Structure 1
């Protein structure tokens, strides 16, 4: 076992979470899993510290017990301008008086499409929806129709869709036929050889390659994206970039603009509405028109949703675009994220714990990594760290920042990290059970409710 520095621990008595605990228990009676998104579930947080949020403003949120937190993750990365960002809210309030949904397209659909295609230079057409999974599944349908093939290759990245074609490839695949699961095959990001092996193993069968150009932890290696592009073109396979996270965080133009590689199709969501529900599928005209009226080929039932073009989501999107024209949220996130990571790692280093916890990643998509006394990634140690931060007014499964995070927010967070380290050190020395109140967090996508089955 690696030696661990030792110091005394002095955890605060902590805020009251009794109101949140009551509402969380009620949620479990009413909603499967106690949340409408698995990543928001109570099993992703320490058992005794599961805040239920009342409101948010900027980078702060308040729970039902009145506790105030600096929030990270920002609505599962969907908020870059800050909670209740007034210019977006003002635009939405204005459009509410003009109606939300009609039996024919609205002028707003033209304007929003023009705004979007003005940002994403590699796309000729766009179709709006309400969630990312609809957009990614529509992209796969287009690819299958265009190529006449059935299989899809996905990079070893966390998430692409709630639909069967992707979830069937995860450990949480109950209810999905094996015939569906075998149609999705995986390759390693930054490993062209692993993708080449899939094409060789399934000649003429891979309709699409799905990937994020980059993630918070992994930049593309030199030549990797270009190699994927060339391989897909040579194989007649549709290349799809998932821009759900990278769009409006790496750039308003997406990661494809940052790295200079253009996919055939791209899917967008999250921050494009600053929390308002809106997503998009965009791409080359000859592919997109397979779902339109300018084709002699068999038509694809692409995206056809009641709420895809409703005025609130599209208005929020247009207001976000305007904010990105007027300000520079990407630069702000980069600056504040860099400051946060450097300062957190400094206090960790001062405590002699660099081998066990650190903050790393893209400045707009930071994570904290927690390791046990042997230096291995650890869910129990992650839970210790989460609980100590929550007790000190920092809420987040990551340190994914927004442009609303002020210097004061960053300083508060660094102070919370520094104050959490004695308990973390005690957990390293005496074991996490010496510090934890309840069971550790568990992976969101797992085949059973255990190890966090409700008692």
Structure 2
């Protein structure tokens, strides 16, 4: 595993973690793949310069890069892996499905099995349709809402980060290039935990809002008492469709998602991420009268819902069924909550010891922890975030968050907490100096969604093991 290092041995040990092959591969990735990755959040600009590992394999909560370095990983496939990398029952189920054929001209029995299993887990849903990614499922939900209401406007929670790669949402972000204004004008926003902002939208656009879309909760925000219930009442009164994005909350808050935790039934809900423990499978679920608009049992004009070649392929559905079995066999969410709580306590203690508790923070539900990094003035800082990530990597920890899986053992947590302890010591020195200069190698990390790509240069390949401290 990547070595843990203290202040005295740090200078001598920096060279123990080499990223030379990763850096070479990252340069090649930028030459042939726009952005150098297939997901913006996985881009090299999200990691310290010269320290963006290219991974080869994972096992449990640990991953290995092309240079042979092992890391304890957090985030776990952008929150999609809750059982751990290479979880054998899921892998075996997928292999067995593949051996029997992946894609046919008619539905396979796994489509029925997966649908029945899902609807037992999410009893508020009457019907479900599977797909391969969350964006397609969420866009399909909006299409149903527009068909059912005859309205065009969509209201999204503007204080939540992401809903879809499709134009109706991306047009609202800092990267709207290529999206017609006519698309952007059809999406409006409200604020989380602010029913008055929803009422204001309804008053501004009376009878025009087709759907209201939000995550029922996030890593940093739980619903205030009465908020979700208030949205349900407003939906019933005004006639818009209430859509819960359960991509993250589904199977991480509870097997039945946020709607099961908070007791509020949406009209439609969209799922992905943890459904397949990293295998590609997503779902749209909801009330029968809405879902059937995309089916055959309707006298209304039919809605082209989800019609995909790969949505029902057997390996993704087999992965979901095996994941569902694993959740039945043990309390996966409970394990993540326990391990996350231990990790949060350890990180907070390490930050207090170094005197940086107000600058290095950890917040959120224990199963979905995020860390914050602040500069000497107490403001969120990308430069100090990059410094913290840099020092975590040097301590054998890879992650843009502290989001755990059920595979994170006490040993994994111990490695992480020690890495945080060392990182906080360096962080304290940078705070005292009033700058990351001399501590951070290279440029700060940058927000994944931003209007300009600067800096334009490719990742620096020079001296990835050079000590950056003076």
**1:340 matched residue in structure 2:** 343
Q: Quick one: which of 223, 241, 246 aligns to 2:244?
A: 241
Q: Equivalents in 1 of 2:432, 2:10: separation in Å?
A: 15
Q: Does 1:79 align with 2:81?
A: yes
Q: Does residue 1:94 correspond to 2:93, yes or no?
A: no
Counterpart Cα distance in 1 of 2:272 and 2:31: 30
| Cross-structure match for 2:38 | 36
Q: How does 1:162-173 map to 2 (within 5 A)?
A: 162-173=165-176
| Partner Cα distance (1:181, 1:451) in 2 | 28
Contact 1:62 1:68 in 2 (8 A): yes
Residue 377 of structure 2 is aligned to residue 368 of structure 1: no
Q: CA separation in 2, counterparts of 1:300 and 1:170?
A: 28
**Alpha-carbon deviations, 1:98-125, whole Å to 9, x = none?**
1000000111110000000000011000
State how far apart, in whole Å, the 2-side matches of 1:71 and 1:128 are.
29
- Alignment-derived partner of residue 121 in structure 2: 119
Other structure's SS at 1:162 match: coil
| 1:132 is the counterpart of 2:134 | yes
Matched position secondary structure for 1:313: helix
Picking from 195, 215, 220, the partner of 1:217 is: 220
Aligned partners of 1:113 and 1:126 also within 8 Å? yes
> Which residue does 1:294 correspond to in 2?
297
2:261 match: 258
Question: For the Cα contact (< 8 Å) 2:355–2:428, is it kept in 1?
Answer: no
**Structure 2 match to 1:60:** 62
1:453–1:189 distance in 2 versus 1, CA, 3 Å: farther
1:13 and 2:17 are equivalent in the alignment:
no
On the 8 A contact 2:155/2:187 being kept in 1, the answer is yes
Pick from 142, 145, 148 the counterpart of residue 144 of structure 2.
142
Contact 1:34–1:42 (Cα < 8 Å) also in 2: yes
| Deviation at residue 96 of structure 1 after TM alignment | 1.6
Q: Which residue of 1 aligns with 2:3?
A: none
1:406 aligns with 2:415: no
In the aligned structure 1, how far is the partner of 2:357 from the partner of 2:8? Answer: 18
Cα RMSD, aligned residues only: 1.2
Partner residue, 2:454: 450
Separation (CA, whole Å) in 2 of partners of 1:100 and 1:296 = 34
Instruction: Find the aligned partners of 1:427 and 1:350 in 2 and give their Cα distance.
Output: 16
What is the match of residue 445 of structure 2? 441
Q: Tell me, yes or no, if the aligned pair for 2:193 and 2:223 is still in contact at 8 Å.
A: yes
User: Runs of 5+ in structure 2 lacking a partner?
Assistant: 1-6, 460-470
Determine helix, strand or coil for the equivalent of 1:229: helix
The answer on whether the counterparts of 2:80 and 2:277 sit within 8 Å (CA) in structure 1 is: yes
Q: What is the CA-CA distance between 1:214 and the residue it aligns to?
A: 0.4
Q: Secondary structure at the match of 1:245?
A: coil
- How many residues align? The count is 449
Deviates more, 1:354-363 or 1:393-402: 354-363
CA distance in 2, matches of 1:38, 1:69: 21
Distance 1:61 1:8 in 2: 27
Q: What's the CA shift for 1:8?
A: 9.5
Name which of 206, 210, 216 aligns with 2:209: 206
1:303-357 alpha-carbon deviations (Å, 9 max, x no partner): 0000000000000000000000001110000000000001110111111111111
| Structure 1 spans left out of the alignment, 5+ residues | 1-6
Deviation track 1:33-70 (CA, whole Å, cap 9, x = no partner) reads 00000000001111110000000000000000000000
Which residue is 2:334 aligned to?
Answer: 331
Q: Aligned equivalents of 2:160 and 2:48: distance in 1?
A: 25
CA contact (8 A) 1:8 1:426 kept: no
Contact 1:439-1:452 within 8 A present in 2 as well: no
The normalised TM-score by structure 2 is: 0.94
Which of these residues, 178, 193, 197, is aligned with residue 196 of structure 2? 193
Q: CA deviation at 1:429?
A: 2.2
Q: Counterpart in 1 of 2:52?
A: 50
The answer to whether the Cα contact below 8 Å between 1:247 and 1:255 also exists between their aligned partners in 2 is yes
Separation (CA, whole Å) in 1 of partners of 2:311 and 2:426:
47
Contact 2:27 2:458 survives alignment (8 Å): no
Could you list the runs of 4 or more consecutive aligned residues of structure 1 that deviate by over 4 angstroms after TM superposition? 7-12
User: Tell me, what secondary structure is at the counterpart of 2:368?
Assistant: coil
Could you tell me the TM-score, scaled by structure 1's length? 0.97
State the partner residue of 1:321: 324
What CA distance in whole angstroms lies between the structure 1 residues aligned with 2:328 and 2:170? Answer: 37
